[in-house]
Structure 1
Amino acid sequence: MPSGRILFVDDNFICSLENCENLREQGFSVLPAYNALAALEHIKRHPNLTALVTDIDLGPGDDGFDVARWARGAYPGLPVVYISGTAGARHAAEGVCGSEFVAKPFNPQQVVDALSRVMHAKAA
């Protein structure tokens, strides 16, 4: 399953560093972003994103739901996985269609498994 370029968005530098490394070990190419504006720049500049993993609470400004909507605007059907320690209840109402949610704290394999599910759902 692992392949392609994942945009990983999290304002927590340590969480991002650890999870990006885990995704790389699983065979993904990973673009880290630490806020919504940086994520938008990646979305605009990289025409070959395979999936998005985004925290929901990204500090001041836009949130992960906004990032996912931008990404889906640029890449219709892009697989999306949300991660959050506080905003899980909002996923059903605000998450993009077909996305998955993984609650923090999580085992890194949970994100890989969620990516696998959303990527396979898109392929089906």
Structure 2
Amino acid sequence: MPQFAVLIVEDDDETRDALSYDLQEAGFTVFAARSGAEAIAIINERPKINVLFTDVEFGMPPDGWDVADAFRVFYKESPVIYASGYSPTQVRRVPGSMYFPKPYRPSIIRGAILTLSVLAGS
């Protein structure tokens, strides 16, 4: 598989580390952020990112919805995958996105990203 990069935004260290490890083992390049502010800083550096995976709810703003909006400024067509254990509504989803309730298995997210990478022709 060609290099395919994922930005993971998750405030729970254990969850973020498990998903990062799973994706790295599958051959993905992983950028990881523990907050919305950290994620937006990474986005503003404009590395090559093919997909955003973001938790929706963080302890402080910006939240995952805001991160997705910021991501789409530079990555207009790139897929966004949301996850949340708390947010029952999905009203702020950007077009071309997916949503997974928590808890989820890293393998499920990996499968979704692999599907997106195939659809993107990567």
Q: TM-score, normalised by structure 2?
A: 0.90
2:56–2:65 contact (8 Å) kept in structure 1? yes
Give the superposition deviation at 1:115: 1.5
Query: Using the alignment, how far apart are the partners of 1:2 and 1:105 within structure 2?
Result: 29
Aligned positions, number: 121
Counting aligned pairs with the same residue, the percent is: 31
Q: TM-score, normalised by structure 1?
A: 0.89
2:4–2:117 contact (8 Å) kept in structure 1? no
Query: In structure 2, what is the equivalent of residue 109 of structure 1?
Result: 107
**Counterparts of residues 29-68 of structure 1 (less than 5 Å):** 29-68=29-68
| Unmatched tracts of structure 2, length 5 or more | none
Report the 3-state secondary structure (helix = DSSP H, G, I; strand = E; otherwise coil) of the residue aligned with 1:49.
coil
Alignment CA distance shift 1:2-1:20 (3 Å): farther
Which has the larger helix fraction? 1
Alignment CA distance shift 1:20-1:2 (3 Å): farther
| Unmatched tracts of structure 1, length 5 or more | none
One-letter amino acid of the counterpart of residue 19, structure 1: L
One-letter amino acid of the counterpart of residue 102, structure 1: F
One-letter amino acid of the counterpart of residue 108, structure 2: Q
Runs (4+) off by over 3 Å: 117-123
Give the superposition deviation at 1:58: 1.5
Query: In structure 1, what is the equivalent of residue 74 of structure 2?
Result: 74
RMSD, aligned CA: 1.6
